[in-house]
Structures are given as structure tokens and as C-alpha cells.
Structure 1
Amino acid sequence: MKEINTLPDDPQLLKQIISQLQARNNYLEEQFRLAQQKRFGASSESHPAQADLFNEAETLVEKELEQDVATIEYQRKKPTRQPLPKDLPRERVVHDIDNKQCDCCGGELHKMGEDVSEKLKFIPAQVKVIEHVRPKYSCRQCEKTQTQVRIVQAPVPASPIPKGIATASLLSQIITSKYQYGLPLYRQESLFKQYGIALGRRTMADWMIRCASLFKPLYDRLHDVLLQQPVLHGDETTVKVVKEDKQTSYMWLYCSGTDSPAPESHIRNIALFDYQNSRAGRCPVDFLQGYDGYLQVDGYAGYEQTQATLVGCWAHARRKFKEAADAQAKGKTGKADWALNQIQKLYRVETACKTASTEAHQAARAQQSAQLLTQFKTWLDKSAQTVVPKSKLGEAVHYTLRQWPKLIRYLDDGHLKIDNNRAERAIKPFVIGRKNWLFSFTTSGAESSAILYSVIETARANGLTPFDYMMHCLN
């Protein structure tokens, strides 16, 4: 805005200038409060289902939409120690007394019981060399009569890395250390040095690529099964590839089912990563191969090119209003708080029906959530006419209105979720690992990472121990 040296005589022009300055000032104050929140506020986002973290007193923003809110009492449970697994090997150490005579009368003491307390002992990893010995045999008679003697020997045992020193257990350890626990190969290289083993990161990187090629048929089979599921979740995040430094690469995620085994559900728990050097809409189109079921994603327009029926994510919509609430002056409440409270009610319906059947879940949504959504839509339409579009609240309102047909689609099917947190939780291990190993050097390395991440996350989602599962497959 241009600097004003003199005030105009026209009252209307003066009011217009003052209005512009006030709008500018409000915008800058909002950005300042958001910067403070990001710098000094809590780094994690509270899940909307945690009712104890919300203020139950609704703001009187729209009196015609005012709702009574029930008070929820929260009582902290005392922490209890979980019992150690029964299948762990146990070593019994008895601490007995030496003198078993009574101090009073000198009689012999008898055992009336015992107290048992368990302590957990950690045994560091052991590394050992397996020598594969193959004796050679020949015929002494043939040695005397023939110039060429046939040598008989047992075949070389099958190995994931032929002519290499790596066993299935070693490969599984390296893979899970990097892709499950985010331990870069250069750190694993230093760990092996502690045992006097010179195992370079380049060698391990080559092993990862070769193991990924072994898992590719399993990945393709999981891909086929994934596309048969009625509901999919999708998300994407950036990944740095050194050989692709002129363009931004992405790791796409497509998953189904839940984060943990659900024996009664017919939907498979699968999580597949797909590396692409682009964020174009052709990426999900190519991966989904004409999939026409439900696809729950965020508001990215690239998914519009697929043939799937898109479902919106209320967690993303809530995040917009949370930013608007953080941008408010400290101690004040406003429209953003009302929106957060209304979204909280939608999540309460989901929490109450968490263990119900899909039919009962859908019926509860029709009876309770539909009315809440109607109220929310009325509030959004009215607020869109009064809020400043470039403000955080304006962005939240207009984003929610644009996504509204997708946001209410979860009412159509009891298998659908209210948000896309299934995908966000599945992609989180990759995001955390990326902070440690920072980048992939080549495209083949990024593609191999996608396959290995897929196997690990799918194993975890089905209640398997990734190390044991990968070792079983490699063997």
C-alpha cells in the first residue's frame, strides 16, 4: 500500500482507506499470531476425538444454531504395569535364607509360599559366521583309468544374495533398521564396526536394491488385491532424489483396511508405496488402473482425474479451522471455535459407533451426523458472506465449502471413515525416516524403498513382526 502523506477531504475515500488499513493490520496480526504458535506452540495436533482437550462451552456466534453441549467427565486412570509375555524364555533365580530354624523356639521353618517378581534382561545382538562346508567326492578307480574325473558335491544352498555373505536374518535386520526404525545405512555401518565387521553402506545399499527385486512379485500381488478392495485411502509426500535434482519427486501411498488386524472385516489391510518423479494426476491414474471404488484423500486436485469416487477428509477441514483459532487474539473465541466444536460432535458419533456393525454405523450417521452437517452447511453459507476471504477463517470456510460434496460422502457407506487418518498414519514412518536418511541417491533406490516400505507397513498392519516376516520370505 502506498504511503499516505495527506488525508483526503472526501469522507467516503477516507473510510475506504481506513477500512483497507484495518484489514491489512488484522491480516498482519493474524500472521504474527500464527508464527508465534508455530514457533512456541505445541508441535503435535490433538486428535478431534479427544474430548477432554476441547472447551465444551460453545461460543455464542450464531444464536439460531446454538446447541446444548453435554459435560464430559474425564478421570485419569492409574498407570498399571503390563505383564511380560508368557512366551519369553525365563531364568529362575531363587533367593533363599540360610538359617531355617525359628529364632523363638528353634523349630524347623516350613515353606508357606513365595513371592515372585519379574525383571526384564536385555541380551545384546550376537553376530556369528555360518560356514557352509561342501565336501568333494571323486572315484579312485576313475582317477586311475580316466583323464577327466567327475567330482561330486552338494549344490550351493540357495541364498537371497548369491555369492554374497548376507543371510536372510542379516538382510532383514538391515531392512527393518532403516525402513521401520529410520536408522540410516551409515549409522548401521558404524554399528557393525563395533563388532569388527567392515560392512560398507554402498554394499548394504546394493543389498537393499536386490532384496527389493525379490519382493517385487509379492508387491505386485498385493497391488492386485488392493485394487479389489471397496475403499482405498491415498496420500503423497515429497522425497529428495539426488539424480532427479531438477524436479521434485514424490512418494505416493495407497492403503486399505485399518492399522491393525480386524478378523471380522473382509477388507484387507494393505499399504503400498509408489515412487514417482511427479505429482501429476497421471500418477494415481496409472497406479489405480481404472479403480472405480471409494478413494479417500485430501483436497489435492490430481485425484480428480481418477475414476474413483472421492471421499473428503474432515481432519484436513478441521486443521484449517484450528489454524484460524490459533490466529485469534489470545483469550478470545469466535467462529473458528464454533466450527471446531461442531466437528467435535461429528467425531463423537464416530467414537460411539466404533465397535458397531457397518449397518448400525451408517444408521447412526443418518440419525445424528446428517443433522449436524446440515447445521454446519447453513453456518458455512452464512459465514462465507461475512468473513475476509484471505484470512485464515476465510480460507477454512471456503476450503470446506469447496470440499463439501466429498466431506459428506462418508454418510453413504458404513465402511467409509470420517477422515483420511489411515493413510496419514501409514505414511508417517516414511516421513520420520526421511528426516534421518534425508534422500535417495538414484531412482532405483527410491523405487526399492517404496517396495520395502510397502512390505513392512503391510506386515505391521496385519499384526506381524516385520523382521520375522521378511526373514521368512527371504528364506
Structure 2
Amino acid sequence: DRFCPACNAPLKRIGEEFVRRELVFIPAKLKVIEYYSVSYECPECSKRGLSVIKKGKDGKPHLLYGMASAGTVAWVMYQKFCNSLPYCRQEKDWKQYGASITRATMANWVILNSDAFFRPMYEYFRRKLLEREFAMADETPLQVLHEPGRRAQSKSYMWLFRSGEDGGVPIILYKYSETRAGDNAVEFLQGFKGYLMCDGYSGYNKVPDAKRTACWAHIRRYLVDAVPKGKNLDYGQPAVQGILYIDRLFRLEETIKAKSTTFDSLKKARLEKEVPVIEGFLSWLDMQKPTRGSRMDKAVTYIQNRRSYLMTYLEDGRCSFSNNLSENAIRPFTVGRKNWLFCDTPNGAQASAIVYTMVEMAKANGVNVYHYLTYLLEKQPNDSMSDEELDQLAPWNEDVKAELKRLVENSNE
């Protein structure tokens, strides 16, 4: 092909042209690394009947629970809590690579290592959250099969607590509890003083020093449910009229946030532009006389019960207008729940809360999830570390971000 078709002379290279680019997948490989410790004896002392022996070390003591590396344990966590792949499917996946790792083994890896090395970071994140003035919360059902004194069908809960929109580093924490009692929120948020954005659940009212703010997205949702089928554009429907007010508020929020450069300017713009809309909405609300027991009646009751919270967000530009951030943060758990369905034990549920926290913290702070989990398992934070030392391992730390970025680049080479 490199000869002239006319005279058969060798062709001379004169340039090149880009044709295409292909993405090549390189399957994972498993390695088994064996560590040996060499022992030494003093021959001279041995002649005199003395036994002087020194045993060498491998230089990197293995402190993880289970005969697996930090990267292997982190991969199991990443697959379940980031990719929603249950242990039973991971077990089959490991067999494809030639390793027989049971789901029970993987569960023990996650439970023991997360409690030993992630829990100190979890508690540190919680302390940092309680220092903030703006927090958000949500909760969703969870089934745990073997809770002491409870039936397998009993409904447990996974709570989500996170920082608000105050401009600080994002903090996201999950908490498992057997019930939905408001005391769980009181216990977790003990010491918090500030604005708390959540849905309409009255259990949050028990948090003593929290000032409730109402979620306008939830209010809109109740009105949407009250619109008769096929009547979404019928402006004669009371529910549709209410939705128009709230949609106007959402558009104003979007515009104001795009133009505001400070929280003070945001507050000022809200007071100027949104207060008239809210007053019009409340006037409309007072005129509603829905049929008792109807969906519209349920919506009006829901809104009236939260009337005192509707304008709380106007007090500070850092307050959130809706609880959408919390719902977005708890969604990875609800997606995972559809795949793995339930937790077997309370220890497994608690481990899930801790690992989900680390996963979502990594996402929220823009670092690679797998490498951050591996990083923590290698650094092995513990209860004896001070908050200053734990801060050096947090995903918002610039040194941590630089290290994880380097790891990602090296893994892609």
C-alpha cells in the first residue's frame, strides 16, 4: 500500500490526519500481596546460651478489619453506597475476577471498618454542623430485619441533616433510628441554635433552639395533588390559583439569587419583591372554603398549620426558600434502597448511615468518592485525634483535595 500505483516507487510520508478517538476499558485485576517478617538471632549470644532475637516489621502495619487492603474495602463501599450495588451482586462480580468473597464478609468489612475509622470523622462533621446557624433536615423510611424486640416489617427511619445555604462548606450527615419520633432530631441537633429548614413534620418542633422555616416546595406539592385530573391549566380551580402564586415566588427567587452579590442584598430584594406575592397568597388562602375531607381541604390545612413559618426565610438572606437541597441529598439513599431493599441488623443500618455520609460529603466537596474512602481507611482517623487533626482529613481541606486529585491523575495514566 505504500508504493505508487503509477510507477511503483516507494511513497514518502508527508503528514498525518486525525481519524478518530476510542475509549478503551481496561478490566480490573486482583493481586494477592503476601507480607513476610524476617527474624534475626545474635549468633554470639547464642553460643553463650542467650537467646537474642529481633523480628522485622513490614513497615506498614495492617489495622483494617478483614484480610483486605484499604482500596478493596473502599471499593466494596463505593459499589454499594455510591453505585447502589448490593452485596449479593458484588459477590457474583468478585467471582468473575476469581475471588470468593461472601456477602457476609463484605458486610463485616463495612460495619467494622466504618465504625473504627469513619465514625471519628462522622462525629467531627456533626460538631461542625452544630456550629452553623443554618441547617436542613429530612427523613425517609428504612426496613431493618433484626431489630431487638421489633418485627421485621416494622418501619425504621434514615434521617438526613445538612448545612444550609450560608456560603460555608457543605456538610451532609445521615442518621439511623428505629422510629420517626422527634426526639431523634432533638438528640442529633442538641446544641444547634439557628434556622432549621425541613418539611411539615411536627417532630422537628421539639428541637428547642431551632427556628423553623417552611418549605415552599412542599406547599406547592400539596396544591399540585389537589388539582383535579386534567385541570392543570384551568385557572378557575383554586389549587391552580395557589400554584400560580408559588410559581411566581420560585421565579423571583431564581432571579434574585442570580443578581444578588451579598446575603444582605438578597434579603433586601426578597422583602421588596416577594412579600407582596406572599401577602396575596395568604389573602387567597383565607378565602378558601374547600369541601371537608377533599384534597384541597388537606392542602389548605397543611398550609394553615405552617402559616407562622411561611415568611421566616425573609429574616435572613442565608435562609433557604425550600428544602430541595435536603431532598436531593437523601435521594442517593432512596435510590440505593430500591436495590438492596433492607438492612439486616441495626449495626448494618448504622454503618450505612456513616458510609453514606462519607460518600455524600465527598460528592458535595468535589472530590473523588472512591479515593476519599481509600484515603480515610489508609489514614485511619481515631477518637484520640483533635478537631484540628481531623480537619486535615476533611474533604474540604485543600491538601486533601490536592492529594486526591493527584491520585485520580495517576490512576488514569
TM-score when normalising by structure 2 = 0.83
Secondary structure of the residue that 1:243 maps to in structure 2?
A: coil
Q: Could you say which residue in structure 2 is the equivalent of 1:146?
A: 49
Secondary structure of the residue that 2:175 maps to in structure 1?
A: strand
Q: Could you say which residue in structure 1 is the equivalent of 2:162?
A: 255
Counterpart of 2:144 (choices 216, 220, 241) is: 241
Q: Could you say which residue in structure 1 is the equivalent of 2:265?
A: 360
Q: Could you say which residue in structure 2 is the equivalent of 1:209?
A: 111
**Contact 1:242–1:441 at 8 Å: present in 2 too?**
yes
Secondary structure of the residue that 1:242 maps to in structure 2?
A: coil
Secondary structure of the residue that 2:94 maps to in structure 1?
A: helix
Q: Could you say which residue in structure 2 is the equivalent of 1:396?
A: 299
Alpha-carbon spacing, 1:160–1:271, altered in 2? closer, same or farther (3 Å) = farther
Alpha-carbon spacing, 1:403–1:327, altered in 2? closer, same or farther (3 Å) = farther
Shift of 1:310: 0.5
1:471 and 2:374 matched:
yes
- How is 1:408-447 mapped onto 2 (pairs within 5 angstroms)? 408-447=311-350
1:369 and 2:274 matched:
yes
Deviations 1:75-118 (A, max 9, x none): xxxxxxxxxxxxxxxxxxxxxx835x6979x9976746633632
Deviations 1:192-215 (A, max 9, x none): 111221101111111111111111
Q: Could you say which residue in structure 1 is the equivalent of 2:191?
A: 290
**Contact 1:327–1:392 at 8 Å: present in 2 too?**
no
Q: Distance in 2 between matches of 1:232 and 1:368?
A: 25
Counterpart of 1:218 (choices 104, 118, 121) is: 121
Q: Distance in 2 between matches of 1:275 and 1:330?
A: 39
AA partner of residue 113 (structure 2): C
Q: Distance in 1 between matches of 2:10 and 2:146?
A: 84
Secondary structure of the residue that 1:251 maps to in structure 2?
A: strand
Secondary structure of the residue that 2:287 maps to in structure 1?
A: helix
Q: Percent identity among equivalent residues?
A: 35
Alpha-carbon spacing, 1:257–1:202, altered in 2? closer, same or farther (3 Å) = same
Secondary structure of the residue that 2:100 maps to in structure 1?
A: coil
Counterpart of 2:210 (choices 308, 322, 325) is: 308
Counterpart of 1:177 (choices 56, 79, 84) is: 79
**Contact 1:387–1:394 at 8 Å: present in 2 too?**
yes
Shift of 1:360: 2.2
Q: Could you say which residue in structure 1 is the equivalent of 2:396?
A: none
Counterpart of 2:358 (choices 421, 434, 455) is: 455
Alpha-carbon spacing, 1:402–1:330, altered in 2? closer, same or farther (3 Å) = closer
Structure 2 unaligned residues grouped into runs of 5+: 379-413
Secondary structure of the residue that 1:323 maps to in structure 2?
A: helix
Q: Distance in 2 between matches of 1:240 and 1:473?
A: 29
Secondary structure of the residue that 1:202 maps to in structure 2?
A: helix
**Contact 1:160–1:211 at 8 Å: present in 2 too?**
no
AA partner of residue 356 (structure 2): Y
1:123 and 2:26 matched:
yes
AA partner of residue 150 (structure 1): I
Q: Distance in 2 between matches of 1:219 and 1:330?
A: 45
Deviates more, 1:132-141 or 1:368-377: 132-141
Q: Distance in 1 between matches of 2:293 and 2:6?
A: 86
Q: Distance in 2 between matches of 1:310 and 1:366?
A: 19
Q: Could you say which residue in structure 2 is the equivalent of 1:279?
A: 180
Q: Distance in 1 between matches of 2:83 and 2:268?
A: 41
Shift of 1:168: 0.5
Aligned CA-pair RMSD: 2.4
TM-score when normalising by structure 1 = 0.73
Q: Could you say which residue in structure 1 is the equivalent of 2:102?
A: 200
Shift of 1:442: 1.3
Alpha-carbon spacing, 1:275–1:118, altered in 2? closer, same or farther (3 Å) = same
Q: Distance in 2 between matches of 1:289 and 1:156?
A: 43
**Contact 1:208–1:448 at 8 Å: present in 2 too?**
yes
Give the length in aligned residue pairs.
Answer: 369
Deviations 1:249-300 (A, max 9, x none): 1111100146xxxxxx642201111111111121111111131201000111
Q: Distance in 1 between matches of 2:311 and 2:35?
A: 62
Secondary structure of the residue that 1:236 maps to in structure 2?
A: strand
Q: Could you say which residue in structure 1 is the equivalent of 2:92?
A: 190
Alpha-carbon spacing, 1:139–1:347, altered in 2? closer, same or farther (3 Å) = same
Shift of 1:341: 1.7
Q: Could you say which residue in structure 2 is the equivalent of 1:167?
A: 69
Q: Distance in 2 between matches of 1:326 and 1:122?
A: 51
**Contact 1:389–1:398 at 8 Å: present in 2 too?**
no
Q: Distance in 2 between matches of 1:103 and 1:368?
A: 80
Q: Distance in 1 between matches of 2:167 and 2:44?
A: 66
Q: Could you say which residue in structure 2 is the equivalent of 1:98?
A: 2
Q: Distance in 2 between matches of 1:380 and 1:272?
A: 36
Q: Distance in 2 between matches of 1:377 and 1:189?
A: 56
Shift of 1:142: 3.0
Alpha-carbon spacing, 1:143–1:301, altered in 2? closer, same or farther (3 Å) = same
1:136 and 2:43 matched:
no
AA partner of residue 254 (structure 1): F
AA partner of residue 350 (structure 1): E
Alpha-carbon spacing, 1:217–1:233, altered in 2? closer, same or farther (3 Å) = same
